[in-house]
Chains A and B, each alone.
Chain A
Amino acid sequence: MRAMDDKQLADLFRAAADEAAAGAPPPRFDHDAVLAGSHRMARRQRATVAVAVAAMAVIGAGAVFSGVLRGPSPTSALAERPPASDRSTSSGNAPTEGITSGGAVPGNAPGAPVAGVAPVPGAAPGPAPQMAPAPYAAKSAPHADALNAAPGDAPLAADSADPSARSKVLADPGGCTGPDPRVYTQLTVVLPEVRSAIPHAVAGGCAPGGAGVAVEVEDAGATGTLVAVLTPPTVSPAVPPETPTQLTATARTPSGGLVRLTAAGAGPGGIPYRPRLPQLAAALAAHL
């Protein structure tokens, strides 16, 4: 057998195709059919693109909507919160002015820290606990002039005896940026009735390295706020002067720190723990 070359193969194929074409039926399509098919394909492509774009838009809108519903993440909320020092500076003007006008704590500048405690330059940066100032400010509004509460903060919905709220507050880092767990714990030792109260941060902060806690108290018909502040030995805090509605007692800890216990009355019953305040301060200092 001989091998066919490419030309012979091509001739054979063409002859076969020509012969087939000779008996072929007439074509079933013409130029118009091609144009119609082309336009149909164009419409289909446009529809496909439109559907894809619509699907992407729906997916994007859904993602945005779900993001809005979820709200900002805790991290971003924390980052957006101004530092405690900023909060006390901005919102503390009103009560500080009240103190000045009322003459309870003369000499305090607007926006200054707690009366009787040395100013805290840059001592309380970072975020303040979200819950800590709120109930304190709301419930102590009548005697805010004595304790530099932050009046514009929203009240806490939880009851003051809510154990979950207490545990949350006690989970704060302590020091001056929040209610200090150690000071609060020792305060409950020397004054067991404050266990049912929610500990709050000391409004306006305290001395550098210090720690404190504020609780609302009731003692024999006298309601008000009790603030305990522990100041390290290296710091000499100013003690707020005694007023008709506020009394301060101080005591040294075994390590040389200073415990300042300030009671402020909020009603006609006078200052709570007024007669026992020095003993309470001494007992607290002994435990710290």
Chain B
Amino acid sequence: MDGSRDDAGDELTFEEYFRLRRDRVRRSAYLLCGDWHRADDLAQTAFVRLHRRWNSVRDPLAVDAYLRKTLVRAMIDETRRPWRRERFVADAPEPDGRSRSGAADGGHADEVATRHTLVEALRRVPPRQRAVLVLRFLDGLDVAATAEALGCREGTVKSQCSAGLATLRTLLGGELDDLRPAG
């Protein structure tokens, strides 16, 4: 009885956590893969795996970290599959018509175009570099937390971050300011 009550309580907690985090995880997944359908698949995979471990992960911070780790690893694993293997190009993505027309309207339109271009350019960054950039600048993790999420060394995170920004800079050309972390 107590066990079933605990299970019900755990399930309620998980449902609440899921409700609070779903959109945020979807957003991260979208930046990681650049496609909403795939983002939903990745987010659902991450939540399913989290549910399997829900009873053994109690610390809310640990829950978030586990979910992030599962998400980025699911994305990297998916890109390794032959039928989903991504190809990367060195050509910068062209801003769409809305952005270009907006660019003519002033600074706000420029910002919109820039953000759109950033999302498009991220899709052309190699998966591990993309994961580092998303974890570092969207989720706000430091180098150590990023390394823990990706299961690699901090030096690797720094080099991947630097390479990812360089790739973005190459792809975006002069559309963005010099993409280089200060310091």
Contacts and interface: CB of A to CB of B under 8 A. Distances in A.
A265 to B, nearest CB: 89
Given A17-B31, A28-B37, A9 B181 contact: yes
A4 B168 CA distance: 13
Given A3-B181, A21-B30, A34-B18, A13 B52 contact: no
Interface in B57-99: none
B182 A20 contact: no
A37 B45 CA distance: 8
Which of B11, B133, B137 has the most chain A CB within a 10 Å cutoff? B137
Nearest to A14: B138
B28 A4 contact: no
Interface of A, helix, strand, loop or mixed by DSSP: helix
B182 A5 contact: yes
A38 B10 CA distance: 14
B95 to A, nearest CB: 13
A27 B26 contact: yes
A17 B183 contact: no
A18 B18 CA distance: 19
A47 interface: no
Q: Does more than half of chain B's interface fall in helix, strand or loop, or is it mixed?
A: helix
Contacts of B45: 37
Contacts of B133: 13
A34 B140 contact: no
B112 A19 contact: yes
Contact of B178 (A2, A12, A38, A41): A2
A171 interface: no
Given A27-B22, A29-B44, A6 B30 contact: no
A12 B181 contact: no
B179 interface: yes
Interface in A15-54: 15-21, 24-25, 27-29, 31, 33-35, 37-38, 41-42
Contacts of B138: 10, 13-14, 17
B109 interface: no
B152 interface: no
A29 B43 contact: yes
A1 to B, nearest CB: 4
B180 interface: yes
A246 B136 CA distance: 108
Contacts of B177: 1-4, 8
A20 B51 contact: no
Nearest to B54: A38
Contacts of B27: 17-18, 20-21, 24
Interface size class of B (residues with CB under 8 A): 35 or more
Contact-residue bracket for chain A: 20 to 34
A3 B115 contact: no
A98 B62 CA distance: 90
Interface in B1-54: 11, 15, 18-19, 22-23, 26-28, 30-31, 36-37, 40, 43-45, 47-49, 51-52
Contact of B26 (A24, A33, A35, A41): A24
Given A14-B138, A34-B47, A41-B48, A3 B30 contact: no
B179 A9 contact: yes
Contacts of B43: 27, 29
Nearest to B138: A13
B178 A4 contact: yes
A31 B30 contact: no
Nearest to A24: B36
B137 A5 contact: no
B178 A31 contact: no
Contacts of B111: 15
14 contacts: A3-B178, A3-B181, A5-B181, A6-B137, A10-B137, A10-B140, A12-B137, A13-B133, A17-B31, A27-B26, A31-B18, A34-B48, A34-B51, A38-B48
